[in-house]
């Protein structure tokens, strides 16, 4: 019978040691390694070492935003909100929110014939034009965010844009990488709420 480890700290330490061994001599910029390893830890997918992309100044922007009082994180799913380390976020007076299930957002989506994720971005932009935006599920949310930025309605302090899927996900992330927004993203189809949570929690541990 397999002798499993029951201590959470030992499990994490052993996992990180295995990740270090599997990554070998691969070098990452300061700060980026912690984020990438946390994503690999959450997904058991070493390919994120190649797929994860940091825009110039992304980590510095994350630090500034998280150390500013009252930092607001806007997510495209409640799953992301549930997974973020609330204790660390509270240290900067921050809050994580998602509007995708709000009645007002559902009504806007139905009226305009758009996805609820798009409507949620429009709603969030009017409330938090300088927040940290975390998108892990819906490519349409990321496309809408970029449209809002282009229209001068929104200027996020940081975008964690890692939507997953076969329709529009890779294209939305490529469009994000073409902007000057501070961002952390993943190339191709891979991503998801689990990846988004891992990135945010890694940033919280790095800077708070």
Q: How far apart are CA 7 and CA 152, in angstroms?
A: 49
98-117 CB burial, b ≥16 within 10 A, e <16: bbbeeeebeebbeeeeebbb
Q: Which member of 41, 91, 106, 187 is catalytic?
A: 41
> What whole-number distance in Å separates Cα of residue 128 and Cα of residue 114?
21
CB 172 within 8 A of CB 163: yes
User: Whats the size of the chain, residue-wise?
Assistant: 208
123 part of the active site? no
**What residues act catalytically?**
41
């Amino acid at each position: 019978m397999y002798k499993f480890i029951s201590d959470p700290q030992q499990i994490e330490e052993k996992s990180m040691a295995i990740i270090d061994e599997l990554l070998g001599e691969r070098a990452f910029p300061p700060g980026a390694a912690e984020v990438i390893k946390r994503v690999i830890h959450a997904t058991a997918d070493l390919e994120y070492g190649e797929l994860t992309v940091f825009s110039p100044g992304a980590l510095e922007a994350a630090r500034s935003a998280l150390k500013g009082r009252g930092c607001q994180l806007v997510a495209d799913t409640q799953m992301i909100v549930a997974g973020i380390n609330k204790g660390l976020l509270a240290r900067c007076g921050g809050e994580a929110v998602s509007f995708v299930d709000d009645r007002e957002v559902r009504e806007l989506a139905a009226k305009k014939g758009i996805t609820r994720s798009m409507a949620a971005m429009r709603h969030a932009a009017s409330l938090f034009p300088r927040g940290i935006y975390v998108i892990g599920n819906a490519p349409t949310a990321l496309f809408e965010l970029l449209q809002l930025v282009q229209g001068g309605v929104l200027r996020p302090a940081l975008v964690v844009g890692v939507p997953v899927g076969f329709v529009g996900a890779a294209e939305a992330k490529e469009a994000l990488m073409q902007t000057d927004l501070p961002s952390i993203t993943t190339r191709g189809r891979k991503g998801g709420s689990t990846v988004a949570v891992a990135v945010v929690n890694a940033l919280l541990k790095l800077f708070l």
